[in-house]
Amino acid sequence: MANLIALIAGLVFGLGLIIGGMTNPAKVLGFLDVAGDWDPSLAFVMIGAIAIGFFAFREAKQRKWSELGFSIDLPERTNIDQPLVIGAVLFGIGWGLAGFCPGPAVAALLIGGSQVWIFVASMLAGMGLYTLATKLKWL
């Protein structure tokens, strides 16, 4: 039952990303181009997501278990450190260059062109390299 609910939640999330335009790199780059031909429409998508997330996380902090009986394990660290800032900067640079971030890229795999597949393959390679570097204690 939990897998079915997870599948439905993932499908709703992916559909929301597609309908909201987050899977369209041109729309995303238009949103990020605040100094040029700015397209503010994605701000409404983000505001909606932040509003839902705010209340969902506030509720989750009060609970130990989900409605399906799984433990709720939220991060305990709240400090902003150098690795977090560097990661956020790299994420922003990648988003600005490609017009994709991980969630919308995965949602666009079936509807996007080859650029989506190249992005996702590169993203997975980067994750693999990071995991390897961490295990080898290079980072």
pLDDT tens for the chain, residues 1 to 139: 889 998 999 999 999 999 989 999 999 999 999 899 899 999 998 899 999 999 999 999 999 999 888 899 998 888 999 989 999 999 999 889 999 989 999 999 988 889 999 999 999 999 999 999 999 998 7
**Cα dist. 10→3, 32, 60, 106 in Å?**
10, 26, 19, 11
What is the reported pLDDT for 111? 86
Q: Are 116 and 109 in contact (CB under 8 A)?
A: yes
What is the reported pLDDT for 127? 93
Name residues whose C-beta falls within 8 Å of residue 24's C-beta, 6 or more positions apart in sequence: 99
What is the reported pLDDT for 68? 86
Q: Which of 111, 81, 115 is nearest to 21 (CA)?
A: 111
What is the reported pLDDT for 80? 95
Burial of 107 (0-12, 13-18, 19+ CB in 10 A): buried
The pTM of the full predicted model, rounded to 2 decimals, is: 0.76
* Domain spans of the chain, in order of start: 2-135
What residue has token string 């990648």?
94
What is the reported pLDDT for 2? 85
What is the reported pLDDT for 61? 92
What is the reported pLDDT for 136? 94
